[in-house]
Chains A and B, each alone.
Chain A
């Protein structure tokens, strides 16, 4: 028994299989969904009657904030990416994601980041400012609790998780599609995930930079958000540059699911597929130029207001195309009203209401009246819960038989839909009528007249929340004793339905091939028309379910290092965030060192274990990989990661420009930051780039000694750079620079400090490479790792090339 438990635990803790990780994501996000839902129901109880005292104002604010953060970061996207993990490799004919261990690491970072947020309740107080974390309320002066630091730590961890996940999915979808599966032939769910990833790659680094600035402000007493020159405007811009695309990031996967589910149950292909894909792309692009509509009240001026009104109205147009396509698909269709179809149809209906009410907020005049009221709460819940959660639950009912091999009770699922839909509307529709009730107030007086609508909403909330119990009960019961579903219970058209339910560990015995006429061929089996209902009769199209070859490879694909790396990051950030903030005395921050040291030690052990572990990822040679046919997976991944880094440093530099142009005075170049130091560091770093590239050149020439000498040189120059930098830091610290030049010091320390951390990370990689080079690696054509290191190191050099003039010459 104990041995069996150990085996099960080992499988789930060490797994790198995309399907297991998909299940972990789904289950964990549902756990957070329940947690966030309970917080919401408690808030609704508090607001049900006037002058209520179920919650104090402080606790209410914490509940509001953590509810919002959990739903947006820990429920909506992870729920969708649980499906993406499980389904997309099956849909595109890949055996796994491109980087399985990175995928596992993404999950563990996600889990631990959520734990940090929840832990914040036990460290004084959770974040209590709303999910937008508006400055300057976030400053230490107004929110001295450690809970917000923990929240910031959790957010940093989850952005790291999301970045890893984005790189992984992007490489997988570009480089690992089954032969013949051109991008244009992918179904809507993979397309929606692909577009979402692009948005994530551009939006989340901005958020990471914002949270980093916030954290450093709070912990070390810097002045980005607590100064007048930075302050709320800087936060608003940086946050909403991320924040509005984030709405679509959580929505698009649900739209993709809806666009896959509705055609299946309507027995008609999606109307205007290419237009829908185009609309997704258009909405994604426009979503990055609408953030100003969240800031109408900050006093832009008429022209800017009008511009943002136009872009905000414009972003609604692609969604019109999508909705019309979905409705047109239903026209004259013999719709099978299964639970999955009901939920997706319900999601479309609610999304339409949410979308239309969003257009109201594009109007400056209406926004002035409605901003910060329950109308806005209703609007975005119709989008995020109505459109997204309902769509995702539709996806859960759709793919549950595929994931578990079991059917659920359809009648109970339909009842679940009825109560959810009715409960949802009773909950949120009254909020549209609460036009004058401010959001985030803990209670109200009877004379406001808000009581009836609030109690109605609360009743709706309990109906909606109670209905979800049916979902969990139904799925739990089905998992234990549901009838077998067979491979294709819905007569679905996409590739995952051609596999057994649940699919074998290795997914495919033979990689399928997509033909021009839409048929899918498996080696040794007869091709089936793409869309044929005969798939139902195939059962196991790949032959033996036990599989061979790759199955053994994949079955052994367990790795303890991803969870350990996630754990080490968690411990490290815990130590960093539960320390004692020391505002307004910078540099006297007192972190909880034992945890930090533990985290670093465990992280180093995990890193060494991770890099030494023999973990083979098989790259299929005969795959559809346009447009990156000639680019290896890892190189594409590194370049994509560097793209995210560009945005990250871009925001840091943008913040520097912002405070610099806002500040009345700035020290003359050379008076505070010594040009000679900057010049020396520039020479050192450029020279280190030369040695890094010479290491690669030596590897190509098969010159082992050349590699060792060049890498040693790179390491020594990196150390020299950090030595000069540290000397400058200490000298400036002694000069009380924060007292005399608060903003120049803030921007200097944060930007160059972040860059210094990147240099240090590069040096750690160089040590690893050097150790391998000493053992004789990289001289036999196996120098790809050296090349990848070089890409990173040269990027760090490029960043410094810009930082040097910004801080020393301008």
Chain B
């Protein structure tokens, strides 16, 4: 049931609750996220150097890879530092939906801008 996204609605034992909410655990999590963010930044810089040197990716793919890494960093910050992961589903859905719509609109604009620019200049 749990795997299918259902909940049995059983109360969480108090011991587990304590474990989940202790300041120590929370701080530990924040430090892990920090380490991951720093690590990703390091990878980002080194990868960009390697990819540019090897020249194995097209410009579009190169940009996609780097922005993809940036996006994962942004998601980590939003989920754990901005606590989106722990917010009520309505709020997280609200934010995600807003960002998805904004992204679609921005992508549409960008596609149009690029296409239009190409069309006019070619």
Residue of B nearest to A676 (CB): B45
With a cutoff of 8 Å between Cβ atoms, the chain B residues found around residue A639 in the complex are 91, 94-95
Q: Which B residues fall within an 8 A CB radius of A?
A: 23, 26-27, 30-31, 34, 37-38, 41, 44-45, 48, 52, 62-63, 66-67, 69-70, 73-74, 77-78, 81-83, 87-88, 90-91, 94-95, 98-99, 101-103, 105-106, 108-110, 112-117, 119-121
With a cutoff of 8 Å between Cβ atoms, the chain A residues found around residue B110 in the complex are 654, 657-658
With a cutoff of 8 Å between Cβ atoms, the chain A residues found around residue B121 in the complex are 662
With a cutoff of 8 Å between Cβ atoms, the chain A residues found around residue B41 in the complex are 679, 682-683, 686, 804
Residue of A nearest to B115 (CB): A304
Q: Mark A787-810, 1 if CB is under 8 A from B, else 0.
A: 100110011011001101110011
Contact A801 B119 (CB under 8 A): no
Contact B116 A686 (CB under 8 A): no
Q: Mark A281-293, 1 if CB is under 8 A from B, else 0.
A: 0000000110010
Could you say which of B38, B41, B52, B116 has the most chain A C-beta atoms within 10 Å of its C-beta?
Answer: B116
A646 within 8 A of B: yes
The A283-310 residues at the B interface (CB cut-off 8 A) are 288-289, 292, 298-301, 304
Q: Is the interface of B mostly helix, strand, loop or mixed?
A: helix
Contact A299 to B102, CB < 8 A, known contacts A237-B112, A658-B113, A686-B41: no
Interface CB pairs A-B, < 8 A, 11: A202-B101, A233-B120, A241-B109, A289-B108, A304-B119, A630-B90, A636-B91, A661-B113, A686-B37, A689-B37, A805-B66
Determine the distance from Cα of A693 to Cα of B23 in the docked complex, in whole angstroms.
Answer: 12
Contact A805 B37 (CB under 8 A): no
Residue in A679, A687, A692, A806 whose CB lies within 8 Å of B45 = A679
Give the 3 A-B residue pairs with the shortest CB-CB distance, closest first: A627-B90, A809-B48, A805-B66
Could you say which of A234, A701, A805 has the most chain B C-beta atoms within 10 Å of its C-beta?
Answer: A805
Determine the distance from Cα of A646 to Cα of B102 in the docked complex, in whole angstroms.
Answer: 8
**Nearest Cβ distance between residue B7 and chain A, in whole angstroms?**
17
Residue in A300, A658, A701, A798 whose CB lies within 8 Å of B78 = A798
Q: Mark A500-531, 1 if CB is under 8 A from B, else 0.
A: 00000000000000000000000000000000
Determine the distance from Cα of A723 to Cα of B91 in the docked complex, in whole angstroms.
Answer: 36
Contact B112 A690 (CB under 8 A): no
Contact B113 A654 (CB under 8 A): yes
Q: Which A residues fall within an 8 A CB radius of B?
A: 202, 229, 233-234, 237, 241, 288-289, 292, 298-301, 304, 627-631, 635-636, 639, 643, 646-647, 650-651, 654, 657-658, 661-662, 669, 675, 679, 682-683, 686-687, 689-690, 692-694, 697, 700-701, 787, 790-791, 794-795, 797-798, 801-802, 804-806, 809-810
Residue of B nearest to A791 (CB): B82
Residue in A643, A646, A801 whose CB lies within 8 Å of B77 = A801
Contact A683 B48 (CB under 8 A): no
Q: Is the interface of A mostly helix, strand, loop or mixed?
A: helix
**Nearest Cβ distance between residue B18 and chain A, in whole angstroms?**
14
**Nearest Cβ distance between residue B82 and chain A, in whole angstroms?**
5
Contact A801 B74 (CB under 8 A): yes
**Nearest Cβ distance between residue A232 and chain B, in whole angstroms?**
10
Determine the distance from Cα of A69 to Cα of B38 in the docked complex, in whole angstroms.
Answer: 48
Residue in B82, B98, B113, B114 whose CB lies within 8 Å of A646 = B98
Could you say which of B102, B103, B108, B113 has the most chain A C-beta atoms within 10 Å of its C-beta?
Answer: B113
Determine the distance from Cα of A245 to Cα of B91 in the docked complex, in whole angstroms.
Answer: 25
Residue in B48, B52, B70, B120 whose CB lies within 8 Å of A298 = B120
With a cutoff of 8 Å between Cβ atoms, the chain B residues found around residue A627 in the complex are 90, 94
With a cutoff of 8 Å between Cβ atoms, the chain A residues found around residue B112 in the complex are 237, 292, 304
Determine the distance from Cα of A234 to Cα of B116 in the docked complex, in whole angstroms.
Answer: 10
Residue in A202, A701, A804 whose CB lies within 8 Å of B70 = A804
Contact A697 B27 (CB under 8 A): yes
Contact A697 B48 (CB under 8 A): no
**Nearest Cβ distance between residue A235 and chain B, in whole angstroms?**
12
Determine the distance from Cα of A679 to Cα of B44 in the docked complex, in whole angstroms.
Answer: 10
Contact A233 to B108, CB < 8 A, known contacts A630-B90, A693-B81, A794-B78: no
**Nearest Cβ distance between residue B76 and chain A, in whole angstroms?**
10
With a cutoff of 8 Å between Cβ atoms, the chain A residues found around residue B95 in the complex are 639, 643
* Given pairs A628-B91, A805-B48, 9 additional interface contacts (CB within 8 A): A304-B115, A628-B94, A630-B88, A635-B91, A650-B103, A658-B114, A675-B45, A687-B34, A689-B34
With a cutoff of 8 Å between Cβ atoms, the chain A residues found around residue B45 in the complex are 675, 679, 809
**Nearest Cβ distance between residue B55 and chain A, in whole angstroms?**
12
Residue in A631, A647, A669, A690 whose CB lies within 8 Å of B48 = A669
Contact A794 to B44, CB < 8 A, known contacts A627-B90, A805-B69: no
Determine the distance from Cα of A658 to Cα of B117 in the docked complex, in whole angstroms.
Answer: 8
Residue in A646, A669, A682, A693 whose CB lies within 8 Å of B99 = A646
Determine the distance from Cα of A237 to Cα of B23 in the docked complex, in whole angstroms.
Answer: 49
Residue of A nearest to B98 (CB): A643
Determine the distance from Cα of A163 to Cα of B101 in the docked complex, in whole angstroms.
Answer: 18
